[in-house]
């Protein structure tokens, strides 16, 4: 079988949620948008709910509806995009809580679903989603009379603990929300690690649950093993892959594995990563193509049946660094051709 295997350790996922939960005094929610960061919404959300998570965040109402079908009644599901046109029926049918981002959304929600739960998202300086201070000031009294379930904002630079933006946003958020009776939330994973000043009544970790930075103490969650389709001996001076981008300086043995940029292993990574055979690094040779990658295994005693791309020796942030991106993108780009396996002890 040429299909690569992606193994998701649900025990590690749960351990990461519990570790972040232990750092705070309030409620710890879980962000499961983008199909549980590419790892499978159903399996991820069920494991976290069984561990004790009672609040979940998704990006759009359609994700919320899918999550409600998975979890059933009980857990609260917040929708970052708020109440968009066309969302009213979904929000009502699946008991979703839109995080309202503007006066227009507030009007739409109150008129379309009078009495239905909602939250408020404020812009404390990121300029992405949320009501700006002046907009919030004009709406604040009316919104508070209706009883929002949550008032939140989002930090722009939480993965850089010393960045002055963190303190600036914290001050702005406090100015906008001090004195409210509604629960507040400012911290995702990076904010949790910034300390208690940022925690408020709810934190909402995402990437840290899945083993990514900036949660350096996170347990490893994702392993990717890719089958070797073919091995070949090449002579000094021969090349590997498109564009003749790698030339053998001495006789070499090359394994071709069945994954590529169509599976989220970006072409730019090639010269900077190795894959592993029982912990032994094997360098990528030539360009990563759509479905195949060449790997040098000259130094191995035997040709392996598969090689490990993601694992304890090379995590999502290592791949991200090689690709000039972030772990979030690596996880959410992992393609649909992988067979996904979920492990629990």
Distance CA 258, CA 12 (A): 27
User: Measuring CA to CA, which residue among 194, 185, 163, 211 is closest to residue 36?
Assistant: 211
Q: Could you give the angle at which helices 133-146 and 103-112 cross, rounded to 10 degrees?
A: 20
Give whole-number Cα distances, 165 to 42, 45, 102, 133, 175, in Å. Answer: 35, 32, 23, 17, 15
> What's the pLDDT tens digit per position in 306-337?
999 999 999 999 999 999 999 999 999 999 99
Q: What is the CATH number of domain 10-210?
A: 3.20.20.10
Model-level pTM greater than 0.75?
yes
Which of 33, 37, 198, 210 is the catalytic position?
Answer: 33
> Catalytic residue at 33?
yes
Q: pLDDT band for position 143 (50/70/90)?
A: confident
Q: For position 1, what pLDDT does the model report?
A: 73
The single residue listed with the structure tokens 């394994």 is 255
- Tell whether the torsion through CA atoms of 281, 208, 130 and 170 is positive or negative: negative
> What's the pLDDT tens digit per position in 251-264?
999 999 999 999 99
Which of 5, 37, 210, 242 is the catalytic position?
Answer: 242
The upper half-sphere exposure of residue 13, i.e. CA atoms within 13 Å in the direction of its Cβ, equals 32
Q: What is the mean pLDDT of the chain?
A: 96
Q: What is the CATH number of domain 222-343?
A: 2.40.37.10
Is the separation of the CB atoms in 322 and 273 below 8 Å? yes
From-to residues of CATH 2.40.37.10 in the chain? 222-343
Distance CA 297, CA 77 (A): 48
Question: Tokens for 282?
Answer: 């094997």
Distance CA 310, CA 290 (A): 18
Beta strand residue intervals within 161-245, DSSP E: 184-185, 202-203, 222-234, 239-240
Q: pLDDT band for position 345 (50/70/90)?
A: confident
Is the separation of the CB atoms in 165 and 156 below 8 Å? yes
From-to residues of CATH 3.20.20.10 in the chain? 10-210
Return the SS3 of 162: coil
């Amino acid at each position: 079988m040429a299909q690569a295997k992606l193994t998701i350790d649900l025990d590690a996922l749960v351990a990461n949620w519990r570790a972040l939960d232990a750092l705070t005094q309030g409620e710890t929610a879980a962000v499961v948008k983008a199909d549980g960061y590419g790892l499978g919404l159903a399996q991820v959300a069920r494991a976290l709910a069984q561990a004790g998570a009672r609040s979940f965040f998704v990006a759009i109402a359609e994700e919320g509806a899918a999550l409600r079908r998975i979890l059933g009644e009980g857990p609260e599901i917040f929708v970052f995009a708020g109440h968009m046109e066309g969302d009213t029926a979904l929000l009502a049918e699946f008991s979703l809580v839109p995080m309202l981002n503007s006066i227009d959304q507030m009007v739409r929600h109150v008129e379309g679903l009078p009495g239905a739960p909602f939250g408020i998202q404020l812009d404390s300086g990121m300029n992405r989603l949320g009501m700006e201070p002046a907009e919030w000031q004009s709406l604040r009294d009316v919104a508070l009379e209706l009883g929002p379930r949550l008032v939140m904002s989002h930090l722009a630079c939480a993965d850089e603990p010393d960045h002055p933006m963190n303190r600036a946003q914290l001050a702005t958020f406090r100015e906008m929300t001090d004195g409210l009776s509604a629960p507040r939330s400012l911290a995702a994973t990076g904010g949790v690690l910034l300390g208690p000043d940022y925690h408020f009544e709810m934190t909402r970790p995402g990437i840290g649950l899945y083993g990514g930075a900036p949660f350096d103490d996170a347990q490893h969650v994702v392993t990717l093993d890719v089958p070797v389709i073919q091995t070949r001996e090449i002579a000094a001076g021969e090349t590997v892959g498109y564009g003749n981008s790698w030339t053998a300086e001495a006789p070499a043995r090359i394994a071709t594995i069945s994954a590529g940029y169509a599976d989220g292993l970006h072409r730019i990574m090639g010269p900077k990563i190795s894959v592993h055979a029982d912990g032994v690094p094997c360098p990528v040779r030539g360009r990563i193509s759509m479905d195949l990658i060449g790997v040098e295994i000259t130094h191995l005693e035997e040709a392996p049946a598969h090689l490990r791309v993601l694992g304890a020796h090379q995590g999502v942030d290592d791949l991200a660094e090689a690709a000039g991106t972030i772990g979030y993108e690596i996880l959410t780009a992992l393609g649909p051709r992988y067979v996904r396996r979920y492990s629990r002890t």
